[in-house]
Amino acid sequence: MIEYLIDGPLWYFSLAVFVIGVLWQLVAIVFASRKGDLSVARGNATSSALKNIFSRFIPHREIAPQIGVQVVAGYLFHLGLFALLFFAAPHVLFLEQNLLGFGWTPMPHWAFILSAQAAFLGLIILWLRRMTNSVSRLISTLDDHIVAILTFVVMLTGCLALLEGFTALRLLHRFTVELWLIYFPFSALMHTFTFIPSRAFTGAWFGRRGIDA
Amino acid sequence: MRIQTLLLLFCLVLPQLSPAAGPPTNQDFPQGVSSISPGSELWREIRQRDGAILEGTSQVKSVDSGVLINARGEEWARFRVTKLSSYGGIAIAAIFVIVILLYVVRGKILIDGGLSGRMVRRFTDYERIVHWTLAIVFLFLAITGLILLLGKPLLIPLFGKEVFSVFASASKEGHNLFGPLFLVSLVMMFLSFARRNIYEKGDLTWLLKGGGIIGDGHVSGGFFNMGEKTWYWMVILIGFVIAISGLILVSPVFGQGRWIMELSHVVHTIGALILITVSVGHMYLGSIGSEGAMEGMKSGYVDINWADAHHDRWGKVCHDENLIVSAEEYARLQGRKPGDSGELATEQGK
């Protein structure tokens, strides 16, 4: 019964919430009403938008020493998670059989393990940084903590089921993934889709005013 | 085909036709076969009962591929079940009993004069991140490791074999995955804290007084006292041994033989049991066992009275260099409202 629920209705429900929720949020952002900028442009908004998208991958020199730990941990976590999501053999197979109908070459097992370890270490350090730095702790919301813990639990249940020999562990992982998908559109996880438009918007806004962002 | 059938029948029937009804004796084998049962000698040799290593030849070219039966493996398995698991379980249970008794008998170690609310910076954000990263990884490995070591006698009676097999599989995968993270955290810990944990004059006095447990009053200490330094070097040294032996176990592809794996397992388990056992004491003294201790790893600041009581030599430096921040300033640094500033101070300390 539980197996049927998790593999069937709950999976489709969570997928629907994820897709519709994300689209809803993105459409809402695109069509959000705002006043037109009537000022005379002092710089090129488009080039600044493009520049800002890429320049933000590297921290500003002035603040780099203060945020070095979170930059390194951030890259470890995000690159590790990306590799796990799209190149882990079980995920490639799952996407091929359940969603896309085609697959691609997965990464070897050793790379899978390294990616998982990088992602875990990065996430633990990022969350601890949030908790230990008084400013980060103050500006953190409940949502930030839920997102971190939920993502950790999803990754953890996935790794505990690595042997692929027990249905219970597979179902546990899939169930946590479904919770994650349902929570995704209503949380800070949306930055997955919004970080590029956000950087572009900021870059364009400053660029038009002639400010080097 | 007929000839083969006849031969088979002959082999089967021949022993039954023997006139000697009793068991065969040496006299029954006059052609020089000295053993009653040649098979037993053969298997004794193969099982290496006499301690001699018997390695044959095999088409399979890998480590120990010429060894048919590894008798030492049985010894290791028996040692694991009868000694490691049982004594390990007793050690873990004993430390919890000791800590509870200590709390009941000795109580929380209070600071003379109580907490003042005036604070001094003890650890940076990075140092606390390093500490808690190691702590999280260590706890995860300790729990999964103990499930693997003690799960069979403890969890099977509670949950049954099927549920335990799920626990065991999950623990094994999680343990193997998080193991290398322990090594990374350990290196971070070594680089961050090694300099301040070098032993110095006065540390021995701390040890002789049992860190203040023996007798009344607190004993003198620097930034880290003798107990903390010893715990630190235990974590680093035993931790490295655990990490290296764990890597040997998790990667059996570098030509290590069975005995190296068995030795690694024993060393890994004993080292881990020592660290787990002592860590319970560390966690106790760092939290409910000692007033004001937790704050150092929580906010990075400690009460100056706590510093004076437990680390007087470092406390003196804080006084001399005027490193103390007021309760209001501390509240501001922690982002609290001014009214919350005195929440750490006890009435006695004010």
- pLDDT tens per residue across span B42-71: 777 777 666 666 677 888 877 777 777 777
Average pLDDT on A60-72 reads 89
Q: How far apart are alpha carbons A179 and A13 in whole angstroms?
A: 10
Whether pLDDT at B333 is above 70: yes
- Interchain CB distance below 8 Å, A162 and B173: yes
Q: How far apart are alpha carbons B38 and B31 in whole angstroms?
A: 13
pLDDT band for position A178 (50/70/90)? very high
Q: Is the CB of residue B142 less than 8 Å from the CB of residue B272?
A: yes
- Report the residue of A76, A112, A124 to disrupt the B interface, i.e. the one with the largest count of B CBs within 10 Å: A124
CB contact set of A121 (below 8 Å; sequence gap of 6+): A73, A76, A77, B133, B181, B184
Whether pLDDT at B30 is above 90: no
In a domain, A77, yes or no: yes
Chain B residues touching chain A at CB-CB below 8 Å: 125-126, 128-129, 132-133, 136-137, 165-166, 169-174, 177-178, 180-181, 184, 299-300, 333-335
Q: How far apart are alpha carbons B317 and B122 in whole angstroms?
A: 12
Q: Is A124 on the interface with B (CB under 8 A)?
A: yes
pLDDT, residue B274, reads 96
- Interchain CB distance below 8 Å, B136 and A124: yes
Estimate to the nearest angstrom the gap between the alpha carbon of A54 and the chain centroid: 17
In a domain, A44, yes or no: no
Average pLDDT on A31-60 reads 87
- Interchain CB distance below 8 Å, B166 and A169: yes
CA triplet A16, A22, A25: central angle to 5 degrees?
Answer: 135
In a domain, A117, yes or no: yes
- Interchain CB distance below 8 Å, A160 and B174: yes
Q: Is the CB of residue A178 less than 8 Å from the CB of residue A11?
A: yes
In the predicted model, what is the mean pLDDT of chain A? 92
Please report, for chain B, the start and end positions of each structural domain, with discontinuous segments joined by +: 72-107+124-299
What order do you get walking across the sheet with B301-303 strand by strand?
B301-303, B119-121, B324-325
- Interchain CB distance below 8 Å, B129 and A156: no
| Structural domain for A92, as ranges | 2-27+65-208
Phi, psi of B303 (to 5 degrees): -70, 140
pLDDT, residue A76, reads 96
- Interchain CB distance below 8 Å, A159 and B173: yes
pLDDT, residue B87, reads 92
Q: What pTM was estimated for this model as a whole? A: 0.84
Average pLDDT on B323-340 reads 82
Of A129, A138, A168, the CB nearest to B129: A129
Q: Across the strands, what pairs with A119? A: none
Q: What number of CA atoms fall less than 13 Å from residue B45's CA on the CB side? A: 7
pLDDT band for position B133 (50/70/90)? very high
pLDDT band for position B349 (50/70/90)? very low
Query: How many domains does the structure of chain A reveal?
Result: 1
Identify which has the larger pLDDT, A113 or B253: A113
The CB density around residue B290, as the number of other CB atoms within 10 Å, is 18
Instruction: Dihedral sign for Cα A44, A45, A51, A57, please.
Output: positive
Q: How far apart are alpha carbons A69 and B127 in whole angstroms?
A: 11
1.10.10.10, 2.40.128.50, 1.20.950.20, 1.10.3720.10: CATH of B72-107+124-299: 1.20.950.20
3-state secondary structure A59-77: CCCCCHHHHHHHHHHHHHH
Q: CATH number for the domain including A76?
A: 1.20.950.20
Q: Is A167 on the interface with B (CB under 8 A)?
A: no
pLDDT, residue B216, reads 61
- Condensed to tens digits (0 to 9), the pLDDT of residues B203-234 reads 887 777 776 666 666 678 889 988 899 999 99
- Interchain CB distance below 8 Å, B132 and A128: yes
Strands B301-303 and B119-121, sheet pairing: antiparallel
